[in-house]
Amino acid sequence: MAAFNNEIIAILATDVFKAITNAKVIQITQLNAAISLLIKANIAFDILFRPGTTRENPVAELIIFINPTTTLEFAFVFDDGGSVLGGLP
């Protein structure tokens, strides 16, 4: 378990996690980088996505499972970059 905890600490100390946890708004590529680190380290996590509305920006919630009773939860707000299709109907 100590090795697992050290790995979680090392991942959270990466520039990727520092950048997204200190930012008010993130980009999808930043979240993808964090997910890649978790997958590479074989760490269990869930990701939930709420699309934006005319009133709110899109939000992703990342839940990292430390053990059966402990989780780390992060909520990330995405920049409202407009439509992926470039405004096509």
For the stretch 19-75, pLDDT in tens is 988 888 888 889 999 999 999 999 999 999 998 888 888 899 999 999 889 999 999
Q: Is residue 16, in this structure, part of any structural domain at all? A: yes
- Domain span at residue 9 reads 2-77
User: What pLDDT does residue 1 have?
Assistant: 63
Number of domains in the chain: 1
Burial class (CB in 10 A: 0-12, 13-18, 19+), 34: buried
Three-state secondary-structure class, residue 22: helix
Residue 82 region by backbone torsions, left for phi larger than 0, else alpha for psi between -120 and 50, else beta: left
Instruction: Look up residue 53 and give its two tokens.
Output: 């509305």
Q: Is the pLDDT of residue 14 over 60?
A: yes
Q: Is residue 46, in this structure, part of any structural domain at all?
A: yes
